[in-house]
């Protein structure tokens, strides 16, 4: 009988796992809680570092999965796990029972809820947006303030919900710095008259072509980078956003009035992932993401026999890394299934 693997989560990691397993001749059921696949990818319009459209990635992922007849269950969540000898039994929210030889958890991340950093005024002031909101504006081809006018000065705040003990997240989300640089460039493209300021604690430009993009933002687009953590934003009587920051390199406190503020929301373990961790007895780390069984070799392997991880449910990752991690999970699963089970 053919082996059957259930993949939980239809974002980048889940789709890649499902596609590659299917290519290897394994039966796959892909479970997605939303009405359609794509996950967080759907929130982004263009991607760093080359600003390719996210729809191109989606097209590729659909091509290896949905278009090849993978068994996809949308609007579906997992309610229960059981084990019957070598099989894992899954009960869905619709009461459906699935028997799997292995499970790949690819529940991804949720964006940090920026309203939790109340001092930045998201949900309080009209012209404070998140990085995801800005992508929506790019998609619609219009960057405008709440009253419909065009912003002239835009501030981008890095590390919102990342590297922040007050937000309960000690880790770096890794992608927000380069997202800020990408979005700063895009704002300048859309609004050539605008001025863009990035407020950062450290510029973490470790990925492929990140540093080059940073240089481009300075050299070609005149984006200003100010080193300091913004402590708070308030609204002025004329509706502008007044921010307070220390320009740490000048050693002086700095205030600035901005038309629009963009918050670089970090990545957190998804609510769906937390639920799976609870019902499956899966170990999570201090950062709440799924814990690796070995920091070098075990990032795809859970503490439960037959359950594997792929993608950002284990740590913040970019799409390139997510695809690699998903493919690595496939290797682990195939190896596991071959093992006389």
Partner 1 sequence: MVDDNMDRFGFTISTGRQIDYESNDRSIAEYILDKEPSFRLCIECGGCSATCTTGNFTGFSLRELNILIKRGENDKVRQNLKKCMLCGKCTLVCPRGVNTRNIVVLAKEAFQKSDEYAI
Nearer to partner 1, 200 or 336 (CB): 200
Give the whole-angstrom CA distance, residue 55 versus residue 169: 30
- Minimum distance of partner 1 from residue 167's CB (angstroms): 8
User: Comparing C-alpha atoms, which of 288, 262, 290 is closest to residue 9?
Assistant: 290
Q: How many helices (H) and strands (E) does the chain have?
A: 7, 20
Nearer of residues 34 and 246 to partner 1, judged by Cβ: 246
Residue 247 as a binder of partner 1 (CB under 8 A): the answer is yes
Q: How far is the CB of 165 from partner 1 (least distance, A)?
A: 4
Q: How far is the CB of 39 from partner 1 (least distance, A)?
A: 28
Site string for partner 1, 206-245 (x = CB under 8 A): ---------------------xxxxxx-----------xx
Among 166, 192, 193, 238, binds partner 1 (CB under 8 A): 166
64 binds partner 1 (CB under 8 A): no
Residue 299 to residues 11, 23, 105, 284, 296, Cα–Cα distance (Å) = 18, 23, 12, 12, 7
- Answer for the pair 111, 130: CB distance below 8 angstroms, yes or no: yes
CB of 112 to partner 1, least distance (A): 13
Tell whether residue 159 is a contact of partner 1 (CB under 8 A).
Answer: yes
* Binding flag, residue 202, partner 1 (CB under 8 A): yes
Please identify which residue in 63, 206, 222, 253 interacts with partner 1, judged by CB under 8 A.
Answer: 253
**Beta partners for residue 7, in sequence order:** 30, 104
In terms of residues, how long is the chain?
A: 341
φ, ψ dihedrals at 198, nearest 5°: -105, 130
Smallest gap, in angstroms, from Cβ of residue 229 to partner 1? Answer: 4
Measure CA of the first residue to CA of the last residue in the chain; give whole Å.
11
Among 84, 251, 294, 340, binds partner 1 (CB under 8 A): 251
According to the binding rule CB under 8 A, does residue 248 interact with partner 1? yes
Is 154 buried (19+), middle (13-18) or exposed (0-12) by CB count in 10 A? buried
Distance between CA atoms of 308 and 301, rounded to whole angstroms? 5
User: Each residue of 274-292: b (16+ CB within 10 Å) or e?
Assistant: bebbeebebebeebbbbbb
Closest contact distance (angstroms) between CB of 253 and partner 1 is: 5
Q: What values do phi and psi take at 161, rounded to 5?
A: 90, 5
By CB under 8 A, residue 285 contacts partner 1: no
Shortest reach from residue 238's CB to partner 1, in Å: 21
- State how far the Cα of 29 lies from the Cα of 38, in Å rounded to an integer: 16
By CB under 8 A, the count of residues binding partner 1 is 24
Q: To the nearest whole angstrom, how small is the minimum distance from the Cβ of residue 232 to partner 1?
A: 6
Tokens 């693997």 belong to: 5
Window 90-129: residues binding partner 1 (CB under 8 A) = 119
305: contact with partner 1 by CB under 8 A: no
Q: List residues near partner 1 by CB under 8 A.
A: 119, 159, 163-167, 201-202, 227-232, 244-248, 251-254
């Amino acid at each position: 009988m053919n082996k059957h693997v259930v993949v939980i989560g239809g974002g980048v990691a889940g789709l890649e796992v499902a596609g590659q397993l299917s290519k290897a001749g394994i039966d796959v059921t892909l479970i997605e809680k939303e009405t359609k696949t794509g996950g967080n990818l759907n929130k982004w319009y263009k991607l760093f570092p080359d600003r390719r459209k996210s729809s191109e990635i989606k097209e590729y992922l659909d091509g290896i999965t949905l278009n090849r007849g993978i068994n996809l269950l949308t609007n579906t969540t997992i309610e229960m796990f059981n084990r019957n000898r070598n099989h894992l039994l899954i009960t869905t929210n619709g009461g459906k029972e699935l028997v799997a030889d292995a499970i790949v958890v690819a529940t991804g991340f949720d964006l940090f809820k920026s309203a939790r950093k109340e001092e930045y005024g998201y949900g309080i002031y009209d012209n404070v947006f998140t990085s995801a909101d800005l992508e929506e504006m790019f998609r619609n081809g219009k960057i405008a303030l709440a009253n419909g006018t065009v912003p002239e000065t835009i501030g981008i705040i890095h590390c919102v919900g990342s590297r922040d003990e007050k937000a309960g997240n000690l880790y770096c989300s890794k992608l927000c710095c380069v997202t800020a640089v990408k979005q700063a460039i895009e704002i300048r493209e859309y609004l050539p008259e605008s001025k863009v300021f990035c407020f950062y604690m450290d510029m973490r430009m470790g990925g492929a072509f990140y540093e080059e993009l940073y240089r481009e933002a300075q050299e070609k687009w005149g984006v200003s980078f100010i080193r300091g953590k913004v402590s708070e934003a308030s609204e002025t009587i004329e509706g502008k956003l007044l921010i307070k920051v220390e320009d740490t390199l000048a050693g002086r406190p700095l205030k600035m009035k901005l038309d629009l503020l963009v918050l670089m929301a970090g990545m957190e373990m998804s609510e769906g992932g937390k639920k799976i961790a609870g019902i499956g007895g899966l170990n999570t780390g201090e950062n709440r993401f799924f814990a690796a069984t070995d920091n070098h070799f075990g990032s795809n392997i859970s503490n439960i026999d037959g359950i594997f991880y792929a993608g950002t449910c284990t740590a913040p990752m970019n799409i390139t890394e997510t695809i690699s991690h998903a493919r690595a999970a496939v290797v682990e699963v195939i190896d596991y299934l071959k093992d006389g089970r």
